[in-house]
């Protein structure tokens, strides 16, 4: 009996036998780990990216994503299970495609769908019967069915019949030592049962737990609920921190104690603002879509305002802290400790540290930074116009600053050294334990001014 490789059964058989040829478009923080997992599961996997440097790196067996080991890439490339290309015509020979391209916001906070559109245009050129297309980029509910499906159907092939289409949100948490692509459950919503079943089979080869939902829209909404949940709760705890600051209470003590409740509470921690490619952005995709129906999504807008104001609050804290030492921001050197948007990673996208640095410079500070994960920072990246390189994390470099502002609490930093060497610290992450005369914490009472002055006299 011959198997029709273009039917759902054909793809099912290939997935079962691990002979399906998988493709991943967009080899970034999401796409590269996924391509590696598919290849590790035995599927011959081709990554496609516009960025020639990423493609070359993969083909040379090197990883540029901290969560992906170079040794794994090298082995999979040597075994001919993984390769990369900038040539979209390879799609003609692939059975499955996962789309992992960026979904940023425009300046107006409207979705920028241009990356998805451009990737889908390329797929449409080479689409063939029996193929499975899965969108992974975070996006508004309706994208797969309203935008991607019609573009692909211009080929004359019908979704759910001639080819299969699904949405499956990526939940990767860069830098997380416990949860990786393989052990984070994968939500899958296909256009019809056949698409859901085939997409579940594809992921089932590489990921431990699959969670099918009824439609692509439901899967799209799952991701936006998850990220909106984080954004709103971080907004809430930031507002609690602002209240604690006024009330003379320590928000860190309050959250830590509240987190001992074994049910009905989940701790979120305050900080200098939201960062990364997801939490500050994705909820506005939902907000944009909801507004199309006349619905006003109030929580998202409010949390956006509170989180967006945090860098300004941090700069006010730095000004207050310097004032205690009879100094002003204008003319002081401020060393920002940590510019990545969260600890233990090198990603600076949307990092609030960059906003704090730009605000400090506008007020006349000399801005320096130290970050073991970010060796250099272009003037464009932090809007300060000056290219910077990281200061060494030495007592001399710490002591040279009028104020050290801890904005990202990388675990590799020796905070005892920082505490002992610094003239003054503004700690927005509770990286330094206890209370000290020269440490001002976000959302906590400042030490009495007399204590600071006494410490200053003793040091003089």
Ligand X SMILES: NC(=O)c1ccc[n+]([C@@H]2O[C@H](COP(=O)([O-])OP(=O)(O)OC[C@H]3O[C@@H](n4cnc5c(N)ncnc54)[C@H](O)[C@@H]3O)[C@@H](O)[C@H]2O)c1
* Cα(303)–Cα(281) distance, integer angstroms: 12
Taking the complex as a whole, the smallest distance from the CB of residue 205 to ligand X amounts, in Å, to 20
With respect to ligand X, which residue has the nearer C-beta, 22 or 439? 22
With respect to ligand X, which residue has the nearer C-beta, 341 or 415? 341
With respect to ligand X, which residue has the nearer C-beta, 100 or 314? 100
* Cα(281)–Cα(304) distance, integer angstroms: 9
* Cα(308)–Cα(264) distance, integer angstroms: 27
Taking the complex as a whole, the smallest distance from the CB of residue 372 to ligand X amounts, in Å, to 20
At residue 370, φ and ψ (nearest 5 deg) are: -135, 125
- Told to judge if 278 belongs to the known catalytic residues of this protein, a careful annotator would answer yes
Taking the complex as a whole, the smallest distance from the CB of residue 368 to ligand X amounts, in Å, to 27
Contacts 24+ apart (CB under 8 A), 454-457: 456/325
Taking the complex as a whole, the smallest distance from the CB of residue 428 to ligand X amounts, in Å, to 22
Taking the complex as a whole, the smallest distance from the CB of residue 142 to ligand X amounts, in Å, to 15
Its sign, for the CA torsion 301, 303, 305, 311, is negative
Taking the complex as a whole, the smallest distance from the CB of residue 218 to ligand X amounts, in Å, to 17
Closest CA to 240 of 443, 21, 383, 396: 443
Packing angle, helices 70-78 and 31-40, rounded to 10: 50
Taking the complex as a whole, the smallest distance from the CB of residue 262 to ligand X amounts, in Å, to 29
With respect to ligand X, which residue has the nearer C-beta, 115 or 268? 115
* Cα(167)–Cα(135) distance, integer angstroms: 5
Q: Count CB atoms within 10 A of the CB of residue 306.
A: 21
Residue with tokens 């035995």: 42
With respect to ligand X, which residue has the nearer C-beta, 167 or 252? 167
Question: What is the token pair recorded at 152?
Answer: 């692909």
Which residues are near ligand X by CB under 6 A?
A: 25-31, 48-51, 54, 100-103, 115, 118-119, 137-138, 170-172, 174, 277-278
With respect to ligand X, which residue has the nearer C-beta, 289 or 438? 289
* Cα(349)–Cα(144) distance, integer angstroms: 26
With respect to ligand X, which residue has the nearer C-beta, 14 or 171? 171
* Cα(164)–Cα(159) distance, integer angstroms: 6
Q: Count CB atoms within 10 A of the CB of residue 242.
A: 18
Which residue has the closest beta carbon to ligand X? 28
Its sign, for the CA torsion 217, 6, 117, 354, is positive
From the candidates 100, 244, 278, 403, which is the catalytic residue?
278
What is the per-residue DSSP string for 378-408? -TTTTTSSS-EEPPP-SHHHHHTSSEEEE-S
Closest CA to 388 of 378, 380, 403: 378
With respect to ligand X, which residue has the nearer C-beta, 36 or 322? 36
Contacts of 76 (CB under 8 A, 6+ apart): 36, 39, 40, 45, 82
Q: Count CB atoms within 10 A of the CB of residue 439.
A: 24
Taking the complex as a whole, the smallest distance from the CB of residue 51 to ligand X amounts, in Å, to 4
Question: What is the token pair recorded at 54?
Answer: 């990423």
Beta-strand pair 186-190/164-167: antiparallel
Residues with catalytic function: 278
């Amino acid at each position: 009996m011959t198997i029709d490789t273009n039917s759902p059964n054909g793809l099912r058989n290939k997935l079962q036998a691990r002979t399906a040829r998988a493709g991943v478009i967009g080899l970034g923080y999401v796409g590269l780990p996924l391509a590696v997992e598919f290849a590790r599961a035995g599927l011959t996997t081709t990554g496609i990216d516009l960025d020639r440097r990423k493609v070359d790196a993969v083909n040379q067996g090197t990883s540029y994503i901290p969560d992906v080991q170079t040794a794994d890439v090298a082995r999979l490339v040597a075994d001919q299970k993984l390769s990369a290309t900038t040539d979209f015509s390879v799609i003609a020979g692939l059975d499955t495609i996962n789309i992992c391209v960026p979904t940023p916001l425009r300046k107006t906070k409207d979705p920028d769908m241009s990356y998805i559109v451009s990737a889908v245009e390329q797929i449409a050129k080479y689409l063939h019967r029996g193929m499975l297309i899965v969108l992974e980029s975070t996006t508004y509910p309706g994208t797969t069915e309203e935008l991607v499906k019609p573009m692909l159907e211009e080929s004359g092939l019908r979704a759910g019949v001639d080819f299969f289409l699904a949405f499956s949100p990526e939940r990767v948490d860069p830098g997380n030592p416990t949860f990786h692509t393989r052990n984070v459950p994968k939500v899958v919503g296909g256009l019809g049962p056949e698409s859901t079943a085939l997409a579940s089979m594809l992921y089932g080869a590489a990921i431990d737990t699959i969670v099918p939902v009824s439609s692509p829209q439901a899967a799209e909404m799952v991701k936006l609920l998850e990220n909106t949940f984080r954004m709103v709760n971080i907004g809430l705890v930031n507002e609690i921190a602002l209240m604690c600051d006024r009330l003379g209470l320590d928000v860190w003590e309050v959250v830590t104690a509240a987190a001992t409740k074994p049910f009905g509470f989940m701790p979120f921690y305050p900080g200098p603002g939201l960062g990364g490619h997801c939490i500050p952005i994705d909820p506005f995709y939902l907000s944009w879509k909801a507004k199309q129906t006349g619905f006003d999504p109030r929580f998202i807008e409010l949390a956006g305002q509170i989180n967006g104001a945090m860098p300004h609050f941090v700069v006010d804290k730095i000004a207050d802290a310097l004032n205690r030492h009879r100094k002003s921001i204008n003319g002081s050197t401020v060393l920002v400790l940590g510019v990545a948007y969260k600890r233990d990673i090198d990603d600076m996208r949307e990092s609030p540290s960059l906003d704090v640095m730009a605000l400090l410079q506008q007020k006349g500070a000399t801005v320096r930074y130290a970050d073991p994960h970010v060796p250099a920072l272009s003037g464009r990246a932090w809007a300060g116009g000056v290219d910077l390189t990281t200061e060494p994390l030495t007592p001399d470099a710490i002591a040279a600053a009028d104020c050290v502002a801890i904005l990202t609490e990388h675990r590799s930093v020796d905070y005892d050294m920082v505490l002992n060497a610094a003239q003054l610290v503004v700690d927005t992450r509770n990286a330094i334990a206890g209370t000290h005369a020269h440490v001002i914490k976000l959302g906590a009472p400042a030490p009495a001014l007399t204590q600071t002055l006494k410490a200053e006299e003793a040091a003089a």
